[in-house]
């Protein structure tokens, strides 16, 4: 059966698939535009890049996308969070996704500018609060996700409790989804209105990272994908390499001089901006390669259109509609 479209505020994505935002410069317009053209939500990672660069990239993505929605992901942990939000709105972004902290003011800004806000949460209380304050969608992110984590619980454990409290806006499942069967499972069995997927898109031809980054994903075995610490103050999921192992062993990586002034609160035990950029540029030993827990299951680099084709074909082969319980699609 055909997958339903995903309505977020005044926007509609024909395919209920959001490509997770990935900073720094992992998800740029090069990835977001083809995702949107396939009918999904293409998300530019908007944290820790200059506002002018972000604006140019949003404009580029909007020009190149033939369909879908172009969004930006901005972490609330960023010092210049509101600048990045306003710059994105000025550049004409369709939607804003935010997480890594909780902004109460963002919803008012969204309302004033008619830009839907999607909030990433990992608990029923924050999900409820986001809906009450005016979120247009809630994204439930679990411990299987890549990057910073707000929970140590798996998706299938935390999702139902959040589904119970979010009544009138779309609820999206994120963390560890690698194929269309899992997408259909989250929608059919758990009542998700859509899914957010990131790691699968690192392994796309269009993802604009060094080939070494993709190779690190392809080479990763289950045991190589580990939890590490971040100066943001949250745990992060990444691929174990020389840098991650040295940190685990307590080697002093303290960044002596702060070049970026990027985070509201930074414990300086290393410079996350430098490490993420090193990964993006392919430094296999010293970079920080954020990765979802199930990356080891994916063994191919494909064009974005082929990833969509496979997800849709797999999901629609098992999607039944009526088993799940999303109030938005009036199921069960
Ligand atoms: C390389 C990488 C960078 C990420 N950067 C961000 C980010 O800047 N902001 C954010 O909210 N989430 C970030 N995430 C989380 C993703 O947007 C997404 O929710 C999550 O990875 C989904 O799980 P999956 O990768 O298993 O599909 C990142 C994930 C990865 C793999």
pLDDT number for residue 331 = 54
Give 274-288 pLDDT, tens digit per residue: 999 999 999 999 999
Give 151-210 pLDDT, tens digit per residue: 999 999 999 999 999 999 999 999 999 999 999 999 999 999 999 999 999 999 999 999
Two structure tokens written together for 3: 């997958």
| Ligand 1 in reach of 201 Cβ (< 6 A) | no
Give the Å distances, CA to CA, from 85 to 60, 90, 116, 144.
17, 9, 12, 27
Give the end-to-end CA distance of the chain in Å, rounded to a whole number.
17
Question: Which residues lie closer than 8 Å to 242 by C-beta, 6 or more apart?
Answer: 285, 286
Question: Domains of the chain: which residue ranges?
Answer: 6-207+299-318, 211-295
pLDDT number for residue 95 = 98
User: What distance in angstroms lies between residue 135's CA and the mean position of ligand 1's atoms?
Assistant: 20
Which residue has the CA at smallest separation from atom 19 of ligand 1? 20
| Ligand 1 in reach of 311 Cβ (< 6 A) | no
pLDDT number for residue 284 = 98
| Ligand 1 in reach of 176 Cβ (< 6 A) | yes
pLDDT band at 321 (very low <50, low <70, confident <90, very high): confident
Give 214-264 pLDDT, tens digit per residue: 999 999 999 999 999 999 999 999 999 999 999 999 898 887 788 887 999
pLDDT over 70 percentage in the chain: 98
**CA–CA separation, 74 and 10 (whole Å):** 20
User: What distance in angstroms lies between residue 237's CA and the mean position of ligand 1's atoms?
Assistant: 9
CATH number attached to the domain at 6-207+299-318: 3.20.20.70
Does the structure show a pLDDT above 90 at 328? no
Residues 68-90 have a mean pLDDT of 97
- Dihedral sign computed on CA atoms, order 45, 247, 77, 223: positive
SS3 132: helix
Does the structure show a pLDDT above 90 at 327? no
pLDDT band at 324 (very low <50, low <70, confident <90, very high): low
User: What distance in angstroms lies between residue 2's CA and the mean position of ligand 1's atoms?
Assistant: 27
Which residue is it, tokens 């827990």?
293
Does the structure show a pLDDT above 70 at 332? no
Give 255-275 pLDDT, tens digit per residue: 778 888 799 999 889 999 999
Q: What's the chain's average pLDDT?
A: 95
| Ligand 1 in reach of 45 Cβ (< 6 A) | yes
pLDDT number for residue 323 = 59
Residues 80-108 have a mean pLDDT of 96
Q: What phi and psi values does residue 144 have, to the nearest 5 degrees?
A: -75, -10
């Amino acid at each position: 059966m055909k997958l339903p479209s995903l309505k977020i505020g005044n926007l509609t994505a024909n395919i209920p698939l959001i490509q997770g935002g990935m900073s720094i410069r992992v998800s740029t317009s090069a990835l977001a535009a083809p995702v949107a053209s396939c009918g999904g939500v293409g998300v530019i990672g908007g944290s820790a890049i200059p506002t002018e660069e972000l604006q140019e990239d949003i404009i580029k993505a909007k020009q190149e996308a033939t369909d879908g929605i172009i969004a930006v992901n901005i972490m609330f942990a960023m010092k210049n969070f509101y600048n990045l939000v306003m710059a994105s709105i000025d550049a004409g972004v369709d939607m804003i996704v935010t997480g890594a902290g909780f902004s109460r003011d963002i919803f008012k800004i969204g309302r004033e500018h008619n830009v839907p806000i999607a909030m990433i949460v990992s608990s029923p209380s924050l999900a409820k609060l986001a809906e009450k304050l005016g979120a247009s969608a809630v994204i439930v992110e679990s411990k299987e996700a890549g990057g910073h984590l707000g929970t140590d619980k798996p998706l299938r454990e935390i999702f139902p409790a959040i589904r119970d409290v979010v009544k009138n806006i779309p609820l999206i499942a994120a963390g560890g989804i690698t194929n269309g069967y899992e997408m259909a499972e989250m929608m059919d069995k758990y009542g998700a209105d859509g899914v957010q997927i990131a790691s699968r898109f690192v392994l796309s031809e269009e993802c604009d990272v060094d080939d070494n980054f993709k190779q690190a994903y392809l080479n990763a075995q289950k045991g190589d994908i580990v939890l590490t610490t971040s100066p943001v103050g949250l745990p992060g999921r990444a691929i174990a390499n020389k840098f991650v192992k040295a940190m685990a062993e307590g080697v002093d990586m303290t960044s002596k001089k702060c070049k970026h002034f990027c985070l509201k609160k930074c414990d300086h035990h290393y410079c996350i901006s430098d490490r993420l950029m090193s990964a993006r540029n392919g430094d296999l030993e010293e970079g920080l390669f954020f990765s979802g827990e199930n990356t080891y299951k994916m063994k191919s680099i494909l064009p974005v259109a082929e990833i969509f084709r496979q997800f849709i074909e797999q999901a629609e082969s098992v999607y039944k509609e009526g088993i799940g319980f999303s109030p938005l699609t009036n199921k069960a």
